[in-house]
Structure 1
């Protein structure tokens, strides 16, 4: 976002990731640090042989500047001359709120984002949380791992980074509002609400059926099978056979065509109910194949699949090399002269690491931009040395000015008109599943007119006839998992009604704040409708494969013929170019292919997938950041903008410092072992069983003072002084874990978390979805909102993942199929007779075709 200056005063990962995304989209970001430097500079230290390097600092602070902040300076003074300020805070939040209020009074256009664990209000507003507790408090950890073992966090602080990505969206929305109204804002981002937003259908299953989603190991719980990880001769493979044709291709690939005679197996949830039986067959087949052989056989039969790649595999990936994804930062800190800025050093994009560095490399290899934005050249710089703002800020400003001069045509910016941030912006949406719908839902929540294009059969895929669903319902009771025929629909009260296609709980969650146009592009007149619609649009979003984009006739070139100024966002699984571009993917396949699954697991286990299709939400949040950045570029220049986003690359981005660390390891050094819930930066950190069924507590001792507080709370005579340092506690982690669990086993998980929080310790119950919905704090914050339809049918879903003081938003229920056909076509100039003719040819519809 060129022309925007951001001051980042955070010292946590969420704030740093927010600022990183702002910098990667063109903003000038200055990091304010205390005289001793940010704590982040000392996180994930790697001994490269040329001196210790912080992988976290190198990744999260690339492209930023550094200034030493006087501890006595006011926020109002520090923020002068900046458009936005980022704060990452916890504990007593009253002073922060007062500082923000004073800064906004002094600078009315200032946008301040405050990232907290639970928000400024509510019973838990003063509670603390770090990366491990984010996995617990947001309901994600309860879905990961084996049902008979402790629940697992992901293999890195990825959820914390998603909180930062959510904050970046909030900043962008508020800056857009400020551009049109002149008014700044406070953007309040709580990890709880941001992470509740990061679920697919976990909440709908509970609010619609009373069922609390649980963890299923490496299976994708309740709805689909096979959508899981399997061991091969030389590694692991992820297989995702969901649709009818994928199931058929899967059976053919395994030479198990007799399974096709099982008519009930054409229903994905039936296959899940027979997962033990199927997994014996699948595991026997994969055990005879190498990963490459299995993937080739499956992909040749159009079955989404891929290897469970390691971090090192991805650093050497031909797909990522072909897309020039990796950035090699060429000047190690040790080579920078005293007082010089390492941040200003040049970098090479996509070039190989030096062949001469066979023992160690001090050159971190980090992910590049989260997407390729046509016309926006990224300016990569190494993370800054402490306090070098004068040099770096001038460089960044000069680069930004040069970039603007190269792309602008001299006219005034064409900001959208209206009250809401995106009022006056029209989005045409071609998306399926989760990642793409999430982008457009968030744009709609911010006031854009989102028109979702659906084929008449789009909502009916894999759904059996309605009469069979009704017959299966039988004596179903609230809280009981629905039968396999209706399970994927997640109907309220397990009742499909007469219009089952309008009552799909997961679909209604993902598609609020939109209008619906049910259009068959290949039917008579369909192309003309598309052409007229795109001519009125600002941005077209799709998450199809490149093959699907070509088939639909919505390539950037084709869309520019309809609207020369159009912004396009293509967000495919692997990107529009490279040897893997045409590969079919689902979220769990990308979870495996990105290297994320390889880092997740118990110390004695193989890799584990996430309990949700995690790369989908990662792609959706990054896609929203990029969509807003592309629109901003268009408004500043009036030029068309084309964006190529790879969901694989956004998944890698949330683990960027882990890849930087891997790139700096000594040659031949094996990757670090899976750690379960333990941390390389803090001890003790873990998940502990509490009183009750499947009840767990997560806690992190962040420093020696927190350890003293925990020792006092445990009041255990074995808690000796020899554990006063982190190194000692890491060395004796097993003993300490046993001591902690003796204490937690006597307590309710919620009471234990409250007791530890009162002592100043970062802790959280491992929250289930039911816990979150029914929690007093969630109620006080209004986390759940009711998007009731006009007929009064309740639709309870998590609300916005951020709060604004003044920036307006616009939430509305999801459209019924074809609900807005007539008004949209009328806006496009169609007469009543012409609209009727389109119905007659089934070019448009309001119900699935037979």
Structure 2
């Protein structure tokens, strides 16, 4: 976003991560700090020979400048000469809203972004939430961990960073609109809505079948198996056998071909229902293999798989080194002078490294700068702009051609469609599946089904409304419909007669083409950068494969859980006495989707400013590493020979106490964080427990006696309803949240007051509820619309491309286009 000046007045991770992404895409970002510096300068501090270094500050504030803010200055004064102001808001929301309204009146083109835990309105609008509560309030933590133990957050503040990424998307959209209309906007981002948006099919399972998704340990609940972690001789691996051919390859790799005689095992949900039986076989096989041996034989048989890598493993990854991913400070840059930096663990600033941008954007070579000292301005600040770049048009004029599957790619294009782009989703006639089992089998399975009961395995993965596939099951897929609203559908076989001509005409009219295929899939589909530019020399392209288009692992196949393991994230998640844990959802998919949307909007912005084509190579592995950036920086600076930190369960090194505590009722839990000494004083007043030690007045003392404090807290929570306990703690000024299930989120009074769930049913269909847009605007238009039926817009799109009715009929006759899957 070159030419954009951003003032970031936030002091929490969400706002700062938002600003980091804007800086990564080329904006000039200035951090406004109090005279004693941001509190993030004191987070994750490591003592080095060069002095104390905050890995959090170094990571989140790289490529930005700093200015000391006069505490008496008004927002109006501070915003002068800036295009964007980023705020994280808590406390007195009314006065903040009034101040934002005043500054927007004085600066009509300003884009102001306000990030809050729950939004400006609703019964929980004044509630506090930090990174641990983010895991709890949006339904994510309820899906992580063992069913008979407390639920787990991820191993870092990753969801908070996703709130920031969501805010960045809203800001970019408002900037595009402002460039055309001359009017700025207020972008309101609540963590609740951003994190509800960060689910795959958890919400659909509840709204369509009445089933509350639960946690299943290291299994991928309800739908697929094996999609899990297994222990080998020297570590752990992730195996993701989802499709029919992957199951066949998996059985061959394990030398268990007799399993192929089980016809029912070709149904993924049947395999999940037999997970105990299968895991005995898989675990016995894995226990005799090294990680390298297991991954090699699985990949040779086309089974998505990979190691559960540690943070240290990723710091010396050959794939990342080949892509020049890591950014180094305090040492000679290996890419500029040919000197390889020393290996991690030397305990010196000279070995420290940060994750780089998660995408290679053609024509944009970011300059890496270390995080600024207090008050250090830009070395070469861009001049204050006198006008907006000419030729920029709102997303309502943008055409995007989409070739995507699963979640990450569809999420990018759904977000662009929500913001007004004309997204045309290209689907092969078999893209949504070939056929359902015979009707009599489905009817027999549904015979005893009741609302709230997990559907039988034959129809479970479809997540059909009321567990009814209907005659057009391919249009009723709940998970597909959630991911593909706000698009038009073209069902096209590119390899059938005339298919390439349709593609050529479509690309000629497009602004952007998006795919999330592997490089091999891109070549097979004939949509490489060279081929697309031959059709449209000015096209913007976004390739978002699992590992990136280059490097020794580029051709590897993966699913989200494989990237969860391969990125190092799973290695940091778990109980203190456990092995690694995957997330309950395919977490890297939503990470890749949100970061991919940021990159897509930045690439369009660059194209509009330069009139040049832009090609983007995005690695979903690298986006996953980005959300844990300061953890990688910390790992790179550990003293030589030191062991990595143990898994912490629900605790954090940044506050004490913090954790998850059992409440009254079945599987009922509360998350809370004592952020500072004032919050501790408030907590002990609420608990009113004689066992409270007066020496626990400092964070260091509380960290030392965390176990004893946990016992005291759980003595109080065990007698209370989780929602009532959270409300009581919030009233005392303590960040807390019930560990919300998906049912809790959907049915919560605050969700209703905010209009969290929206109906995406097509005309004539029963209501179908999904989470809506994850941010709100005052003026920027958004355009949510129901998802397309298979091939719904074939005729309209082809007519726009100049095809005559007889030509369209011929394309149907040759099965080049279709509205139903083949028999």
Q: 1:527 to 1:425 in 2, by over 3 A?
A: same
Following the alignment from structure 1 to structure 2, what is the Cα–Cα distance between the partners of residues 207 and 284?
38
> Out of 758, 763, 784, which is 1:785 matched to?
758
Q: Give the distance between the partners of 1:803 and 1:455, measured in 2 at CA.
A: 34
Residue deviations 1:807-829 (CA, integer Å, cap 9, x gap): 11000000000000000000000
Aligned to 2:703: 730
Q: How does 1:190-229 map to 2 (within 5 A)?
A: 190-229=190-229
Alpha-carbon contact 1:347-1:380 (below 8 Å) kept:
no
The Cα of 1:346 is off from its aligned counterpart by 12
Aligned to 2:452: 479
For 1:283 and 1:733, locate their aligned partners in 2 and report how far apart those are by CA, in whole Å: 35
- Secondary structure of the residue aligned to 1:639 is coil
> What does residue 770 of structure 1 align with?
743
Q: Which residue of 2 aligns with 1:385?
A: 373
CA distance in 1, matches of 2:337, 2:71: 38
Q: Which runs of 5+ in 2 are unaligned?
A: none
Provide closer, same or farther for how the CA distance between residues 682 and 359 of structure 1 changes in structure 2, counting only shifts above 3 A: closer
TM-score with structure 2 length normalisation? 0.98
Judged with a 3 Å threshold, the aligned counterparts in structure 2 of structure 1 residues 465 and 57 are, in CA distance, closer, same or farther, namely farther
What displacement does 1:361 show?
3.8
Corresponding residue SS for 1:741? helix
Map 1:248-647 to 2 at 5 A.
248-330=248-330, 352-354=340-342, 358-389=346-377, 392=378, 394-397=379-382, 413-416=390-393, 421-460=394-433, 463-647=436-620
Task: Note closer, same or farther for the CA distance 1:732–1:355 as it changes in structure 2 (3 Å cut).
Answer: closer
How many angstroms apart in 2 are the aligned matches of 1:757 and 1:162? 23
- Does the CA contact (< 8 Å) of 2:544 and 2:620 recur in 1? yes
1:794-813 C-alpha deviation (Å, 9 max, x unpaired): 12000000000111100000
Is 1:830 equivalent to 2:803 in the alignment? yes
1:330 touches 1:347 (CA, 8 Å); kept in 2?
A: no
1:677 corresponds to: 650
CA distance in 2, matches of 1:350, 1:587: 34
Q: Which position in structure 2 is the counterpart of 1:7?
A: 7
Deviations 1:689-718 (A, max 9, x none): 000000000000000010000000000011
Q: Conserved in 1, the CA contact under 8 Å of 2:16 and 2:164?
A: yes
Give, in angstroms, the shift of residue 96 of structure 1: 1.1
Aligned pairs, number: 822
| Aligned partner (choices 655, 669, 691) of residue 628 of structure 2 | 655
The alpha-carbon deviation at position 566 of structure 1 amounts to 0.2
The alpha-carbon distance between structure 1 residues 279 and 356, as it changes in their structure 2 partners (threshold 3 A), is closer
User: Over aligned residue pairs, what C-alpha RMSD do you find?
Assistant: 1.7
Distance in 1, Cα, partners of 2:350 & 2:85: 32
Deviations 1:221-274 (A, max 9, x none): 000000000000000000000000000000000000000000000000000000
Q: TM-score, normalised by structure 1?
A: 0.95
- Give the superposition deviation at 1:348: 6.0
- Counterpart for residue 780 of structure 2: 807
1:431 and 1:455 map into 2 onto residues whose CA distance is: 11
Segment of structure 1 superposing worse, 39-48 or 166-175 = 39-48
Alpha carbons 2:34, 2:70 under 8 Å: kept: yes
Alpha carbons of 1:367 and 1:792: their partners in 2 closer, same or farther (altered >3 Å)? same
* Separation (CA, whole Å) in 2 of partners of 1:446 and 1:817: 22
Displacement of 1:471 in angstroms is 3.2
Is contact 2:229–2:237 with CA below 8 Å preserved after alignment? yes
Partner of 1:172: 172
Contact kept, 8 Å, 1:58 with 1:364, in 2: the verdict is: no
**Any gaps of 5 or more consecutive residues in structure 1?**
333-344, 402-410
2:489–2:794: 8 Å Cα contact kept in structure 1? yes
1:116/1:331 Cα in 2 relative to 1: closer, same or farther (>3 Å)? farther
Change (3 A) 1:597 1:727: same
Shift of 1:331: 6.7
Q: Give the whole-Å Cα distance in 2 for the aligned partners of 1:798 and 1:752.
A: 26
CA deviations over 1:621-657 (Å, ceiling 9, x no partner): 0000000000000000110000000000000000000
- Structure 1 CA distance, aligned partners of 2:743 and 2:52? 44
> What is the match of residue 90 of structure 1?
90
Deviation at 1:321, TM superposition (A): 0.2
Once the 2 structures are TM-superposed, how far is the Cα of residue 329 of structure 1 from its aligned partner? 1.2
The match for 1:339 is none
Task: Give 1:336's aligned residue.
Answer: none
**What CA distance in whole angstroms lies between the structure 1 residues aligned with 2:760 and 2:804?**
32
- Distance 1:245-1:382 versus aligned 2 partners, 3 A rule: same
1:792 positional shift: 2.9
Post-superposition offset of 1:89: 1.6
Report the Cα offset of residue 359 of structure 1.
Answer: 4.9
TM-superposed deviation, 1:115: 0.3
Contact 1:326–1:350 (CA<8 Å) still a contact in 2?
no
Distance (whole Å) between structure 1 residues aligned to residue 703 and residue 344 of structure 2: 35
Whether 1:749 and 2:722 are equivalent positions in the alignment is yes
1:193 CA displacement? 0.1
The whole-number CA distance in structure 1 between the counterparts of 2:761 and 2:54 is: 49
